Structure 1
Amino acid sequence: MELPAATPAPAPGELSGLETRGVSAWFGTHKVLERVSLTMQAGQVTALIGPSGCGKSTYLRILNRMHEMTGTAALAGQVLLDGEDVYAPGRRPSDVRRRIGMVFQRPNPFPSMSIQDNVASGLKLAGIKVGREERAHLVESSLVRAGLWNEVRNRLRTPGGALSGGQQQRLCIARSLAVSPDVLLMDEPCSALDPTSTRRVEETIAELRGRLTIVIVTHNMQQAQRVSQSCAFFLATHDTPGRIVETGDTAQLFGDPVDPRTADYVNGRFG
């Protein structure tokens, strides 16, 4: 499957990059990540790959301060958005999550709420007040960017729960886009979708690239190769927490990996 070309990138300096330095994480006394340092380039898609249980989703949740919502969670290291630590004293988690949005593994629209109200709910949750005309414009533009507008433009008042699974996932993407995030995190966004819906979500990712920074967790190696420009391979063992084994350009990591463990994983020899 060939994805569409990315939308031309905005002028330099308009996009935000994301970086972690020496991030370690715990749940209680159990250490799940060990000194993870990674640069996620502005305007590109970075894929996080690796076997289940190696800390990819935990790492993703750390990026927008959702990790701390678990009572036993602890963290060390830095998460830098445009060079500023999102965990710095005085930074409000809600402000961080507005700039760094999240799309979850399973679509989670408000089922009885209309399509347009689902999109606009992102504004309410972020505390953004807009007039009726601006609200309508944001709903339309967000649905356009999520690749859903043409399918729902004539039924915006119908419940979001009446959409197909793939449409619901793109509705959730539109809800995240409504608050104009700098970064969009995606935790296995296609794992519950059929191939056709997966293709449409991947097309949406390709169209968003160049407009914002995207970080996606996926277990689908073909998907990682299709949608991402850079890739990070995570691995954990019974005795060691998750860490990055190898990171770099996606084509290089899949075509000529440096570490033999990376070669084994991307070629399906374990995981």
Structure 2
Amino acid sequence: MSETTAILPAVTDAMALEAESVSAWFGDHKVLDRVSLAMPARMVTALIGPSGCGKSTFLRILNRMHELVPSASLAGEVRLGGDDIYDTGVKVVDARKKIGMVFQKPNPFPAMSIYDNVVAGLKLTGTRVPRTGKDDLVEECLTKAGLWLEVHDRLRRPGGALSGGQQQRLCIARSLAVRPQVLLMDEPCSALDPTSTRRIEETIHELAGEVTIVIVTHNMQQAARVSQQCAFFLAEQGQPGHIVESGPTDRMFGAPDDPRTADYVNGRFG
């Protein structure tokens, strides 16, 4: 992979993400059926629904991680700024540079320093930044992730020595370092204490003005707090997952169109 000498732009150029008629299989087992969803730029879209309805699979499809499973296949389109990320001319590394992912369990490189964790993605994406530029980038990304004040005096210590909540924010900083247009989050707070969860949610609020965020969460209060729109996924009686309805979060929680949505957001099942 060739390297460039360009310093990354100061502001992320957020783009809308759109899925159209996305279906997915693991071998012969269909797990998603014709899912269509628009995820507007600079907004938080929450994917809600019971376990096993395809939310995390859909999220992984959005940055081409689904294809890492040998038996996986899919149909439909995922468009970023109007361009299909599954087009034959689009490299996987380019798609993932634009569409970052934060996983349920924090996954910093444990023996690598906090500083090196943040800049790890630059090498993977072939981006070369001068030393002084790296220092500024590390400070900026850790600040946006709400972690700078806590770690600025120990940047050379291992990332694995941080608390769970700090490690998750470090992973967010690492994702931001390559300037993604979209940030995907798969239950980023499920393993965290309430204080760490609040800090992650504050970070989401701050980032939403710059990047497009899509978050999977089983916490209905969290979905209501952090998102501007929701999509309710459901898989009934052995059928593949599909979207029952989607729309503004206030309407989805206050006056949904489908009674199944009302039952789910009010805790009557799931």
TM, length-normalised to structure 2 = 0.95
Alpha-carbon separation, structure 1, partners of 2:168 and 2:213: 16
Tell me: CA distance 1:184–1:270, structure 2 relative to 1, closer, same or farther (3 Å): same
Could you tell me which residue of structure 2 aligns to residue 193 of structure 1? 192
Alpha-carbon separation, structure 2, partners of 1:224 and 1:124: 34
Does 2:157 correspond to 1:158?
Answer: yes
Could you tell me which residue of structure 1 aligns to residue 29 of structure 2? 30
Could you tell me which residue of structure 1 aligns to residue 171 of structure 2? 172
Displacement over 4 Å in runs of 4+: none
In structure 1, give the amino acid aligned to 2:244.
V
Deviations 1:56-81 (A, max 9, x none): 00000000000000000000000000
Aligned-residue sequence identity (percent) comes to 70
In structure 1, give the amino acid aligned to 2:199.
R
Task: Please give the secondary structure, in 1, of the residue aligned with 2:76.
Answer: strand
Following superposition, the deviation at residue 266 of structure 1 comes to 0.4
> Is there any run of 5+ residues in structure 1 with no aligned partner, and where?
1-9
Could you tell me which residue of structure 1 aligns to residue 246 of structure 2? 247
Does 2:42 correspond to 1:43?
Answer: yes
- RMSD (Å), alpha carbons: 1.3
Alpha-carbon separation, structure 1, partners of 2:136 and 2:121: 14
Alpha-carbon separation, structure 2, partners of 1:146 and 1:123: 17
In structure 1, give the amino acid aligned to 2:48.
I
Could you tell me which residue of structure 2 aligns to residue 219 of structure 1? 218
Could you tell me which residue of structure 2 aligns to residue 85 of structure 1? 84
Alpha-carbon separation, structure 2, partners of 1:128 and 1:234: 37
Tell me: CA distance 1:14–1:118, structure 2 relative to 1, closer, same or farther (3 Å): closer
Task: Please give the secondary structure, in 1, of the residue aligned with 2:104.
Answer: coil
Could you tell me which residue of structure 2 aligns to residue 203 of structure 1? 202
Following superposition, the deviation at residue 199 of structure 1 comes to 0.3
In structure 2, give the amino acid aligned to 1:116.
Y
Following superposition, the deviation at residue 40 of structure 1 comes to 0.2
Deviations 1:15-56 (A, max 9, x none): 300000000000000000000000001000000000000000
Could you tell me which residue of structure 1 aligns to residue 3 of structure 2? none
In structure 1, give the amino acid aligned to 2:106.
P
Task: Please give the secondary structure, in 2, of the residue aligned with 1:34.
Answer: strand
Alpha-carbon separation, structure 1, partners of 2:115 and 2:27: 41
In structure 1, give the amino acid aligned to 2:251.
Q
Task: Please give the secondary structure, in 1, of the residue aligned with 2:122.
Answer: helix
Following superposition, the deviation at residue 14 of structure 1 comes to 4.3
Could you tell me which residue of structure 2 aligns to residue 149 of structure 1? 148
Alpha-carbon separation, structure 2, partners of 1:239 and 1:198: 33
Could you tell me which residue of structure 2 aligns to residue 116 of structure 1? 115
Deviations 1:77-107 (A, max 9, x none): 0000000000011110110000000000000
Alpha-carbon separation, structure 2, partners of 1:148 and 1:125: 23
> Is there any run of 5+ residues in structure 2 with no aligned partner, and where?
1-9
In structure 2, give the amino acid aligned to 1:252.
R
Following superposition, the deviation at residue 239 of structure 1 comes to 2.8
Q: How many residues align?
A: 261
Alpha-carbon separation, structure 1, partners of 2:238 and 2:190: 28
Could you tell me which residue of structure 2 aligns to residue 230 of structure 1? 229
Following superposition, the deviation at residue 228 of structure 1 comes to 0.2
Q: Is the Cα contact below 8 Å between 2:13 and 2:211 reproduced in 1?
A: no
TM, length-normalised to structure 1 = 0.94
Q: Is the Cα contact below 8 Å between 2:13 and 2:181 reproduced in 1?
A: no
Does 2:126 correspond to 1:127?
Answer: yes
Alpha-carbon separation, structure 2, partners of 1:164 and 1:125: 26
Alpha-carbon separation, structure 2, partners of 1:15 and 1:159: 31
Task: Please give the secondary structure, in 1, of the residue aligned with 2:185.
Answer: strand
Alpha-carbon separation, structure 2, partners of 1:229 and 1:142: 24
